[in-house]
Structure 1
C-alpha cells in the first residue's frame, strides 16, 4: 500500500496554485469578467483552488490566439510535429505521479486507477499519433494516361472542444494528440467540476508547444455526459470451472464501479443466463462487496469519490427510484459525503431503473434464457457506446458481438482501449491536387 499525501500537505506529489487564470496564447490570462470559481475536491469536499470563469469574451480571445498559432503550426512537417508529440509523451511520463495525484484530487477516482490506466493512456495517445504521422505518405491515383490525383492531408485550423468530467486527462489526450498531430491549434474547455488537473498538465508540457497552439478556458457551464446503458452479458459456461477465467469474469462484472461508474461506457446493465443466474449473481455480489471504498489517495482503494455532491444526489435519486418501482436492492445503496457504495439491483429489464442510467457505481441485473434472448434485451437501448460478452465459447462470443448494436464490444474483457488512430481523419481534410500532363483539351467545348 502507498498513501499519497494530499495536495497542500508536506510531501505531496503535486502543488496546486491558489488561483488559475485562463491559459491563452502561451500565457496565464485573467478572465475578462474578473470572476473566479471555487474548485472543490470530492476527496474531502473542500475548496482547494479557484479557476477563472469563462465567458464568450474569453473564448473569443482563445480562438483568436489559436487561429494565429494555427497558421504556423499547420505548416510544420509531420516529422516536426511527431517529434513534439514524443517530447510531450516523455514529459508526461516523467511527471506521471504528479499528474495521477492531480487527477485523483480533482476528479475523485482512485489514484491506483490514475496511475495504472489514465496517465499511461495519456502517454500512449501522444506516442501512437506521433508514430502514425511519422510513417504516413501521400497518395497518388492515376485518373487516365495523362492525369493524376495527388492527395495530401491538411489541418482544419482550430479545434475547439469541451471536455467531460469523467476522466479529464484522458479526455484531453483524446483531443490533443490527434488534433496536434494533424497540425491544428486547440482550445480546450474543461468541465466546471474538473478544470484543475488540466492546468497541471499544461504546467508540465506548455514549454514544449509554440504559444497559442494549446489554449485552456475554464469555468464554463456544466458539460453534460452521455451515459451508455451498456450491457455486460454472462453466459452459463462462465461458471463451468472455478478457475482464473471465472475470477476474471467476476472482475468484469465489478467494472461497473470503475471510476465510480462515471464512464460513458460503464457496464451498468448485467445480463446473466438463467441456468446459472443465482450462482453467478451470488459470486458477483460477494466480489462487489469486497471492493474497497475509501480514500482515493490510498493505492489499496478501489472505488473513490463521486465527482460532486450534485452527481451524488443524482445517483441516490436513481437508487431510490429503483427501490420505489420494486427492484430488489442486492447490496449497497448508501452514501457518505461524496462516497457512494457500489450498488447492485436486480429486476425486470423493462423497468425504468434498468432502462435508465446515472453515471454512478450502480448496476442493474436481469436474466436471459438463450443467445437470442440476450441479443433482444441487450439491443433494447437504441444508442449504446459499449457492451461486454463473457463466454468460454469464443465462436459464440465472436458472432454475438456482431449482432449487438454497441459501437464497441469487449469479449472476455472490459474497458481495454487502443489509441484509436482512425480518429485522425476527424481532425484534418484531404487535399486533392488534380494535375493533367496533356497539352490537349478535353473536347467539352
Structure 2
C-alpha cells in the first residue's frame, strides 16, 4: 500500500466490524447484482462572507439551527407531509422516517414513509386534474412555468441552503449551479413549448394530414439523490410544459429540499398537476413505476434499478426515459503540455472535475487517461491541484467539496477504496475518510482520492459515485480510444487537446451520449443529455425532450364531397 494513503481507522471494534461486513458485501457482490428499487482538510474555522454569505465572522462550529451568518432563515420544518392535490397531507399509514443531513450525520426533519395507498391518492389527484391542465393553452402553461422560475429566483438562497443541508454539497455549487440551472431549465421549456410546431401535409388537393402534439396524461417520475432539485426540474419542466400531470417520488436519501421547493412554488400550479409522494423504493417507488394508471415513467439512478423500472414499464407497455450510470473517460493528450498557459491550467481543472459534487455525478470523469509521454510532468501538477481542493462545511463559501449524500454511500465509496488497494492500484492521493471536528465529526466526508492502475481493475470498470479517480496511461490515439470505449457505460466523456481535428475525430468515435471537448461538467438546457449502451434510454434537456412527454395525433381530413369510390 502506498504510504500516502493511510489505512482507515474506526472509533471502536463494533463499528469496525460493521464496516468490514458492509465493505465485504460490496467487494464480493457481482457487478450487476439486483438491488432494491431506489433512486438511487480544513474543517471548521474562518467563515468569511463570499458571494453566498452576508457576514464575515469567526465561527468554530456551524449549527443548522443557527443560520445567523447567512442572509436567509433556516429552511426546514420539523416534519413534512406529502404534497397531493395542492395540499400537504400526512401519509395514509401514519409512518415517518428521519431524514439525516450528511453534514452532521444527524436527523433534521421527518418525512412520510408512504406506501401504495399514498401513491394511489396522488394518482387520483393527478387524474382529476389532467383533462383541464392538458387543455390549457400552451401560452398559459408557459406563463406558469415562467412564474415558477421567477419564484425560485426570488428564493434562490433559501433553496440553495436547503439543498446543501439535505445533500451535503457545497453552498457555492448550489448557489452558482444547481438552483440557477433549474431556473433556466424552467424558462427554457416554457419557451420551447411555445415555439413547438405541429405539421400539415397536403395529401392531394382536397385532403390534408394534420399532426398535433398531445400530452400523455399522468406520468411518474423518480428522482435521484445527487441533484435533488435540479433533477426534479429536468423532468418536471418538459412534462408540465407538454401538458402532463405528475406524480413524483424523491430519493429517500434526499427528500427534503424538494419539499421546500414545493413550499415555494406549490401554489402556482392547479391542484393535482404536481404531486410529490415520499418513501422508500420498494414501498413507494415500485407501486408508482409499476402502476397501470401512469402513461410514462422517467427515472434517474443506478443501472441495476433502471432495469427493474424498464421491466415494470414493459408490463404496462408505456414509454420510459432512463438516465443511468456512467464510468466516463477524461482523455489528456500530450499537446496540453505544449505550453504552461491558461489552457494547461484549464486542463488541470478538468482533471480535478472528478471531485465536483463529491464525485456523485453520473457523468463523473472517474477514469483519467493521460498520454504516456507527459504522465510524470502532468501528474506532478495535477496532484498539486487535487491537494488544493478545500473540504469543509458545505455552508462555508470556501468549501470546494462537502459530504457524501448518505452513510450508505460513504461505506460504498470506502469499500471501493479498499478494493483498489487490494487490486494493487497505487494510491496517489487521499484514500481515506476525512476526520472532521466539531459538528462535522459524524458527517460523511471522504478525501479526494487518486489511484493509478489499469482499465481492467474494478475501480476502473464499476461506478463508484464518489471522489475517486482512476488514472492510466496510453501510448497513442488508437490505444486511448480502445481504453475509453472499454466499458459497459456510455454517458459522458472528456477530450483535452489543442488539436481541433483530433478533438472532433475523437468526439465522434467515443461511444458516449455527451462528449465535452476542452471543458467538462457543463449542463445547458438546450443541449441533449443521455447515454449510450447501459447508461440509459432516451434524452433529457433540449427541445426534443418535449417529444418524450407527448404523443402525436394525426387527423387525415378530406375536404371533398366526392365519393371515395371503394363500394
TM-score by length of 1: 0.97
Corresponding residue SS for 2:551: strand
Superposed CA deviations along residues 187-219 of structure 1, whole A, max 9, x for unmatched, are: 110000000000000000011111111111012
Q: Indicate which of 198, 221, 243 corresponds to 1:183.
A: 243
Cα distance in 2 for residues equivalent to 1:180 and 1:374:
42
- Residue 75 of structure 2 contacts residue 161 of structure 2 at CA under 8 Å; is this kept in 1? no
Cα distance in 1 for residues equivalent to 2:130 and 2:546:
17
Q: How does 1:63-74 map to 2 (within 5 A)?
A: 63-74=123-134
Name the structure 1 match of 2:38: none
Name the structure 1 match of 2:291: none
Shift of 1:10: 4.4
| Structure 1 unaligned spans of 5+ | none
Name the structure 1 match of 2:558: 436
Q: How does 1:178-327 map to 2 (within 5 A)?
A: 178-221=238-281, 224-225=301-302, 226-327=324-425
Superposed CA deviations along residues 141-168 of structure 1, whole A, max 9, x for unmatched, are: 1112221111111101111111000100
Q: Indicate which of 431, 435, 446 corresponds to 1:340.
A: 446
Matched, 1:407 2:513: yes
Cα distance in 2 for residues equivalent to 1:390 and 1:309:
35
Cα distance in 1 for residues equivalent to 2:563 and 2:521:
58
Q: Indicate which of 98, 106, 125 corresponds to 1:38.
A: 98
Cα distance in 2 for residues equivalent to 1:189 and 1:354:
31
| Structure-2 change in CA distance of 1:7 and 1:69 (3 Å) | farther
Matched, 1:171 2:231: yes
Name the structure 1 match of 2:17: none
- Residue 75 of structure 1 contacts residue 183 of structure 1 at CA under 8 Å; is this kept in 2? yes
Q: How many residues align?
A: 445
| Structure-2 change in CA distance of 1:10 and 1:115 (3 Å) | closer
| Structure-2 change in CA distance of 1:7 and 1:214 (3 Å) | farther
Q: How does 1:386-405 map to 2 (within 5 A)?
A: 386-405=492-511
- Residue 336 of structure 2 contacts residue 343 of structure 2 at CA under 8 Å; is this kept in 1? yes
Corresponding residue SS for 2:49: coil
- Residue 160 of structure 2 contacts residue 171 of structure 2 at CA under 8 Å; is this kept in 1? yes
| Structure-2 change in CA distance of 1:250 and 1:394 (3 Å) | same
Q: Indicate which of 532, 535, 543 corresponds to 1:421.
A: 543
Cα distance in 2 for residues equivalent to 1:332 and 1:433:
63
Cα distance in 1 for residues equivalent to 2:75 and 2:460:
42
Q: Indicate which of 35, 43, 49 corresponds to 1:2.
A: 49
Shift of 1:382: 3.0
- Residue 230 of structure 1 contacts residue 387 of structure 1 at CA under 8 Å; is this kept in 2? yes
Q: Indicate which of 191, 201, 206 corresponds to 1:131.
A: 191
- Residue 417 of structure 2 contacts residue 432 of structure 2 at CA under 8 Å; is this kept in 1? no
Name the structure 1 match of 2:211: 151
Name the structure 1 match of 2:45: none
Superposed CA deviations along residues 327-346 of structure 1, whole A, max 9, x for unmatched, are: 00000011134000000001
Cα distance in 1 for residues equivalent to 2:565 and 2:363:
57
Larger displacement relative to structure 2 (174-183 or 213-222): 213-222
Q: Indicate which of 97, 111, 122 corresponds to 2:182.
A: 122
- Residue 329 of structure 2 contacts residue 493 of structure 2 at CA under 8 Å; is this kept in 1? yes
Shift of 1:281: 1.6
Superposed CA deviations along residues 96-149 of structure 1, whole A, max 9, x for unmatched, are: 000000000000000000011100110001100111112233321111222111
Larger displacement relative to structure 2 (12-21 or 118-127): 12-21
Cα distance in 1 for residues equivalent to 2:339 and 2:238:
44
Shift of 1:6: 5.1
Corresponding residue SS for 1:171: helix
Shift of 1:2: 2.9
Shift of 1:91: 0.5
Shift of 1:441: 3.4
Larger displacement relative to structure 2 (130-139 or 171-180): 130-139
Matched, 1:96 2:156: yes
| Structure 2 unaligned spans of 5+ | 1-47, 54-61, 286-300, 303-323, 436-442, 526-541
Root-mean-square deviation over aligned CA pairs:
1.4
| Structure-2 change in CA distance of 1:285 and 1:10 (3 Å) | closer
Larger displacement relative to structure 2 (415-424 or 356-365): 415-424
Cα distance in 1 for residues equivalent to 2:204 and 2:462:
56
Cα distance in 2 for residues equivalent to 1:105 and 1:217:
20
Q: Indicate which of 16, 30, 34 corresponds to 2:76.
A: 16
Shift of 1:443: 3.1
Superposed CA deviations along residues 378-419 of structure 1, whole A, max 9, x for unmatched, are: 001132110000011111101110000011100000011121
Name the structure 1 match of 2:200: 140
Superposed CA deviations along residues 408-442 of structure 1, whole A, max 9, x for unmatched, are: 10000001112122211101111111101122234
Shift of 1:75: 0.5
TM-score by length of 2: 0.77
Cα distance in 1 for residues equivalent to 2:138 and 2:147:
14
Larger displacement relative to structure 2 (92-101 or 336-345): 336-345
Name the structure 1 match of 2:36: none
- Residue 102 of structure 2 contacts residue 404 of structure 2 at CA under 8 Å; is this kept in 1? yes
